[in-house]
Chain A
């Protein structure tokens, strides 16, 4: 599904990713762990196509297509979803309007029929319920005044509604207490399927107790320095990142 080859990425003239190779097959959940500044968020942004993240060398192929040819919204319509570490507050746009616009834009881009208000409402309520997202939250401006937990639940709701082929979760555990973390993880786990891949980016092992990965990679200094099974995360929890050429942060 995702093939990254020798990926070099520069931000503001500074090279952050220095030759990443990564293969994620359909249905797999990969965790990417690493200390602060190792390039974890850069990897997530470059997958989503954020402006200012320049690929200077190497390639990213998604379902056989070269991602560098695709704009941010085209990537989304093709099935890439990034759950933000810090979801943005958008005053004046209700969560409901946002979700409907996004879903219908993707459906339109894929040549599918757009959902009318009634069918959309039914669908969004069905998806929102297990995430404890009520109508009141949906009527409020997107993420405005949401607590940290509400923001992350709203991200998972977006993911559940948009049904991406590849979900990239950037530090989804940050700012969550254990109950909120469980709700979010349950939401993510419910979306695991043989057709859907996930990349879970995290600094801490804690999240991986709830979203158990198939493969764990350690990113340090812009390179993947170690790859292993889920036990690698536990190992890191004990020893920290000190052995991986970075400070133990």
Chain B
């Protein structure tokens, strides 16, 4: 193994690969070769660090070197969900539930029987012989190479995940909810594959919870056929000692629509990456999110939307509230290729600083090579308006309540963009709960 192996964490991952290699899913087929190539390039590059433009504000190398995660153990016994409200979020919805503990699927805790005809749900190991899975895993986006390169780590070490395929024209009757619980400390590598064929529709909810010092490395690969519609909502509320790295790669067919929303409340360090590429005309992508941070939390949102074809619309809005010494990051890019006329591409990030020690770094970018397009991007960072606080208090609303109202109003603006009214209500409840914790 060549390359820069000075870093402890990267070395641990390579060693973990060597130790697990023969036991990993797909050890006897194409994936074994793919994994070998991936770990080699990972070992060469090492973990990403601040000197890379796309990781400028989040030093994953330093974070993981310091944390020193071993591989998460397999957890066989009963599990106890954390007390946090996020742990039971979505439980009021009629849904299929797939539970993953320490990154591994637990059939005994899951409830996904009687799926409609034309809907297939599998573990990662079960689909590796299928061409569509291979296509999704091997696909690359490359528009943000430094950011995407870390997917190699996942490819080399992924040992479980949810694979959802919805056949042409089939509509999933209720959401699939993936509940990821970090019951013990350590690193887990999960790969989810989602294929919606032409005109198929479905909703996938993810929650990532846990009180352990864990490192979750999740890659979700999505392909939407022409006219397909996927709603994807991800909630992350892991412990202050946890590190969370989630990458969503989506290829969107003609007239298809991806609506993705992320709520980030937890983790010491988290990074959510989205790579979206339009493969057919008249498609839509909504990549939105909210985050509420406190203490020394650090959350990085990275989003690239590639308008490779004409007449597609993309909208990205991330809004966050930062208290304590927390730090938020937004890096986004909308690329409009020379042929992608009539593109409508928008990107906006807004942060509200509740403390003098909180910080926000925002870098929205547009790269436009077509002339008949509508594109806009913007970024604001501000504090709660003193005038607004005075106005509310002058009506008898105590200061803490006035602040709560204004913060929730600020976030509600983006929560409104999440799919499904019931889901929005759940997200609102979580944000409201976060604020009450903050003020007690």
Contacts and interface: CB of A to CB of B under 8 A. Distances in A.
Interface stretch (A2-10, A60-68, A98-106, A221-229): A98-106
A87 B391 contact: yes
B94 interface: no
B409 A76 contact: no
Nearest to B399: A73
A84 B393 contact: no
Nearest to A84: B391
B410 interface: yes
A92 B394 CA distance: 19
Contact of B395 (A50, A71, A98, A141): A98
6 contacts: A72-B394, A73-B402, A84-B394, A90-B405, A92-B413, A162-B395
A26 interface: no
B406 interface: yes
A188 interface: no
Nearest to A93: B409
A88 interface: yes
A51 interface: yes
Contacts of B390: 48, 50-51, 72
Given A101-B401, A105-B401, A90 B396 contact: no
Contacts of A93: 405-406, 409
Interface in A86-115: 87-88, 90-93, 97-98, 101-103, 105-106, 109
B432 to A, nearest CB: 12
Contacts of A124: none
A77 interface: yes
Interface string B375-402: 0000000000111101111111111011
A156 interface: no
B24 interface: no
Contact of B394 (A76, A97, A101, A141): A76
B396 A106 contact: yes
B408 interface: yes
Given A71-B399, A105-B397, A98 B386 contact: no
Nearest to A91: B409
B412 interface: yes
Nearest to B409: A92
Interface in A151-174: 158, 162
Query: Which of B386, B393, B399, B405 counts the most A-chain CB atoms under 10 A from its CB?
Result: B393
A92 B410 CA distance: 7
A82 interface: yes
B398 A73 contact: yes
A102 B413 contact: no
Interface of B: 385-388, 390-399, 401-402, 405-406, 408-410, 412-413
Judged by DSSP, the binding face of B is helix
Interface of A: 48-51, 71-73, 75-77, 81-82, 84, 87-88, 90-93, 97-98, 101-103, 105-106, 109, 141, 158, 162
Contacts of A49: 394
A72 B397 CA distance: 9
A162 B396 contact: yes
A88 B391 contact: yes
B352 to A, nearest CB: 12
B233 to A, nearest CB: 20
A72 B388 CA distance: 13
Given A76-B396, A92-B410, A105-B396, 13 more contacts: A50-B394, A73-B393, A73-B398, A75-B394, A81-B395, A88-B387, A88-B388, A92-B406, A92-B408, A92-B413, A93-B405, A102-B395, A102-B396
Contact of A82 (B386, B394, B398, B405): B394
A168 to B, nearest CB: 10
A49 B399 CA distance: 13
Given A88-B387, A93-B409, A101-B401, A71 B393 contact: yes
B393 A90 contact: no
A101 to B, nearest CB: 6
Nearest to A73: B393
Nearest to B387: A88
A102 B391 CA distance: 11
Contacts of A158: 395
Nearest to A107: B396
Contacts of B413: 91-92
Contacts of B405: 90, 93, 97-98, 101
Given A90-B391, A105-B396, A51 B386 contact: yes
A77 B388 CA distance: 18
Contacts of A87: 391
Query: Which of B393, B396, B402, B410 counts the most A-chain CB atoms under 10 A from its CB?
Result: B396
A158 B406 CA distance: 19
Query: Which of B386, B395, B402 counts the most A-chain CB atoms under 10 A from its CB?
Result: B395
A161 to B, nearest CB: 10
A109 B402 CA distance: 15
B388 A102 contact: no
Contacts of A109: 396, 398
B436 to A, nearest CB: 15
Nearest to A80: B394
A90 B395 contact: no
B265 to A, nearest CB: 19
A92 to B, nearest CB: 3
Contacts of B395: 73, 76, 81, 98, 102, 105-106, 158, 162
A71 B395 CA distance: 12
A75 to B, nearest CB: 8
